[in-house]
Structure 1
Amino acid sequence: MVAFKGVWTQPFWRSVSGEFIAMLIFVLLGLGSTISWGVGDSPQPADLLRISLCFGLSIVTMVHCFGHISGAHLNPAVTIAFVCTRRITLAKSLFYIIAQCLGAISGAGLLYIITPFNLIGNLGVTMVNERLSLGHGLLVEILITFQLVFCISASCDPKYKDKYPPIAIGISVIIGHLFAINYTGASMNPARSLGPAVILWNWKSHWIYWVGPIIGAVCAATVYDYIYCPDNDLKQHLKEAITKATQKTKGKYIEVDDCRSQADAEDLILKSGTVHVIDIDQAESKKGKDSASEILSTV
């Protein structure tokens, strides 16, 4: 039960429901831009600019609306990356990912219901271009997700105040689509690909849209947080702990005496920026309960 500490609280479930609603709206709007409304035998060609702008501006809107509620991850790959950089616990991330996937499926299902059957087409299912190998498709998804999550990490870094994360993140989504729609459909988001795949039951090369974004997201968040812009307090604390652990006294290793409490350790976690912060245990701590704060960042 310790692993699920902070899960059974009203603020956390408000955050989970926010992820569900935001993902539903994002997928509904984004996939809707891929629908061709051509007449008869003259279908409209895919408008790459319209699709890119719709996905990017939808992200801007959802991050602005839900950033202070749930952190607006809106992407299982981002949530997994935040687990690796200690911005969210593993237990809480499971509920976030489930909410994101259910929201994406619901959004794709709603679009399927309201769209005339003869216009549905492939409902925005992401597929690797036939001219590419699966390996090339996987590499493209890794690269575009890397640039997205690196942008998220940089724009939400509290050390740099003069930023507006929703705009930066939305632009990152737009350029990812402009570049990669013709390659892989530009997913960058496993839940976005899962939604239409479930509704049309089309699983062709679907694994690429989980493996690629997750690898890209984890690499980007790890590189930013631990190489380019590490937290100095956390770095110093880890250095001291390693030094104590390797010291010898009378031929024996001494036990590390960590004077920091669990709450102090969690305070070293990189906190998010402008659209950012939700302390889901704050209400309980004010009541005198023993609870640790949890910071969720935006997507």
Structure 2
Amino acid sequence: MAITSIAFGSPAEAGQPDALKAALAEFISMLIFVFAGEGSGMAFNKLTDNGSSTPAGLVAASLAHAFALFVAVSVGANISGGHVNPAVTFGAFIGGHITFFRSLLYWVAQCLGSVVACLLLKLATGGQETSAFALSSGVGAWNAVVFEIVMTFGLVYTVYATAVDPKKGDIGIIAPIAIGFIVGANILAGGAFDGASMNPAVSFGPAVVSWTWDRHWVYWLGPFVGSAIAAIVYEVFFINPSTHEQLPSADF
């Protein structure tokens, strides 16, 4: 990957119609994803009398997030690229597929979508709050960072392989399915330890609504580091620099 492929763009991008449409698409996709994902946890908790930390609760969370992310990526793919995750956007920026200023616009939209989804859940459930992501007993902050790095690496690597790589061919709906599946599988692996976020915006919404910030930095540092590693590895080893084109926005 040539470092010159990274583009910063211009602040004027924030006013461009296509950028605003893309940001709106990211906002809506994130709202759909968080409302369904976090809402399923609240529903399971209600039906089982606070039993969401059981194996069945973990499986339910995995399925709900996998299904919701598949839909959220699919509905946003043709407008914004269907990032639905600040870490995915960061990986696209590192690879030169989106400018820095457009990335900022995406990050704001994604975080707002998560906050609005959590506020709507609070309103719809009569005041119940979505729980902020937290570490399980015996899990240290740096243990969780490693979890988030590895899980997000797998997610962003999957995004690159199925959606970004210009040699991927016409795999159509396989990309959002694979992206949803890897998130669901990672929740099964890491959910019992740190909640398996892989997505700073997903962690941000519940933290804002519940105003709980304990070790919140874990859910930003880990995903951004994992995303950057995945982007660099895929760009350097699997995307031919001679055929790699600078894109104004994400090509997935």
1:158 pairs with 2:170: no
1:52 pairs with 2:62: yes
Q: Can you list the C-alpha shifts for 1:40-78, whole angstroms capped at 9, x where unaligned?
A: xx4334411111111111111111111001111111111
1:14 pairs with 2:24: no
What pairs with 1:47-86 in structure 2 (closer than 5 Å)?
47-86=57-96
Question: Take 1:37 and 1:80, find their aligned partners in 2: how far apart are those partners?
Answer: 36
Q: Can you list the C-alpha shifts for 1:130-153, whole angstroms capped at 9, x where unaligned?
A: 211111111111110110000110
Q: Can you list the C-alpha shifts for 1:235-255, whole angstroms capped at 9, x where unaligned?
A: xxxxxxxxxxxxxxxxxxxxx
Structure number with higher helix proportion: 2
Question: Take 1:28 and 1:45, find their aligned partners in 2: how far apart are those partners?
Answer: 17
1:268 pairs with 2:222: no
Counterpart code for 2:50: P
Distance 1:78 1:196, change over 3 A: same
Q: Are 2:131 and 2:210, in contact at CA under 8 Å, matched by a contact in 1?
A: no
Q: Are 2:13 and 2:101, in contact at CA under 8 Å, matched by a contact in 1?
A: no
- Deviation of the 1:126 alpha carbon: 1.0
Aligned with 1:294 (options 231, 248, 251): 248
- 1:132 is paired with a residue whose SS is coil
Question: Take 1:5 and 1:38, find their aligned partners in 2: how far apart are those partners?
Answer: 49
- Deviation of the 1:158 alpha carbon: 2.4
Q: Are 1:73 and 1:79, in contact at CA under 8 Å, matched by a contact in 2?
A: yes
TM (norm. structure 2) is 0.88
Question: Take 1:137 and 1:204, find their aligned partners in 2: how far apart are those partners?
Answer: 13
1:232 pairs with 2:209: no
Question: Take 1:31 and 1:124, find their aligned partners in 2: how far apart are those partners?
Answer: 9
**Counterpart position of 2:4:** none
- Deviation of the 1:6 alpha carbon: 4.3
Distance 1:95 1:165, change over 3 A: same
Q: Are 2:9 and 2:101, in contact at CA under 8 Å, matched by a contact in 1?
A: no
**Counterpart position of 2:46:** 37
Q: Are 1:231 and 1:268, in contact at CA under 8 Å, matched by a contact in 2?
A: no
Question: Take 2:62 and 2:226, find their aligned partners in 1: how far apart are those partners?
Answer: 20
Distance 1:101 1:45, change over 3 A: closer
Question: Take 2:241 and 2:12, find their aligned partners in 1: how far apart are those partners?
Answer: 27
Unaligned runs of 5+ in 1: 235-266, 270-292
- 1:295 is paired with a residue whose SS is coil
Counterpart code for 1:149: V
Question: Take 1:37 and 1:7, find their aligned partners in 2: how far apart are those partners?
Answer: 41
Q: Answer with 1 or 2: which has the greater Rg.
A: 1
Q: Can you list the C-alpha shifts for 1:142-195, whole angstroms capped at 9, x where unaligned?
A: 110110000110011220214220111011111011111101001000000000
Q: Are 1:20 and 1:100, in contact at CA under 8 Å, matched by a contact in 2?
A: yes
TM (norm. structure 1) is 0.75
The alignment yields a C-alpha RMSD, in angstroms, of 1.9
**Counterpart position of 1:219:** 229
Distance 1:6 1:43, change over 3 A: closer
Counterpart code for 1:165: A
- 1:73 is paired with a residue whose SS is coil
- Deviation of the 1:124 alpha carbon: 3.6
Q: Can you list the C-alpha shifts for 1:257-288, whole angstroms capped at 9, x where unaligned?
A: xxxxxxxxxx723xxxxxxxxxxxxxxxxxxx
Unaligned runs of 5+ in 2: 1-7
